[in-house]
Amino acid sequence: MEGYTEVQAFIERYLHDGPPELPSVSDLSIDDLKQKAQDAADEKVLDVCRHYLLELFARGFEPSRTACNLARLSSEQDRNGEAVEWYRRELEIDPQNREDHEGLIFLLDCHPDTNAQDAIRERLR
């Protein structure tokens, strides 16, 4: 679980130090968080969506699926390093998830802050 401590530290920093304009999440239920994350995604308010997803992950809601959603959202926001970290975290939780493994390889292969060697190493895992 090597990447977990980095991800957990990121979550804690984000939830603690997040911009003040982000809505409070402490009094929301899991169902409310899911709905608000979906609404924010539908409206393309990605920082708010991310805020809700981070809270869902911190609360342990479907960690594999939530990590995958955070990976895809991070990639969409051009936060490629974070996307790689979230994909790796998701694959620690569910190592048999071939679709997300392919997503990680694609990300490593296509984005300018990684290179083909990174993707090749990941393919061999």
Residue 32 in 3-state DSSP?
helix
For the chain, the domains span 2-15+28-123
Neighbours of 66 (CB within 10 A): 26
Between 111 and 96, where is the model more confident? 96
Q: Supply the CATH classification number for the domain 2-15+28-123.
A: 1.25.40.10
Kindly report, residue by residue over 31-81, the tens digit of the pLDDT.
999 999 999 898 888 998 999 999 999 999 999 999 999 999 998 998 888
In the block, tokens 């809270």 appear at 55
Q: Mutual orientation of helices 116-123 and 98-110 as an angle, nearest 10°? A: 160
pLDDT value at residue 8: 64
Cα 2 to chain centroid distance, Å, stands at 16
Percent of the chain with pLDDT over 70: 78
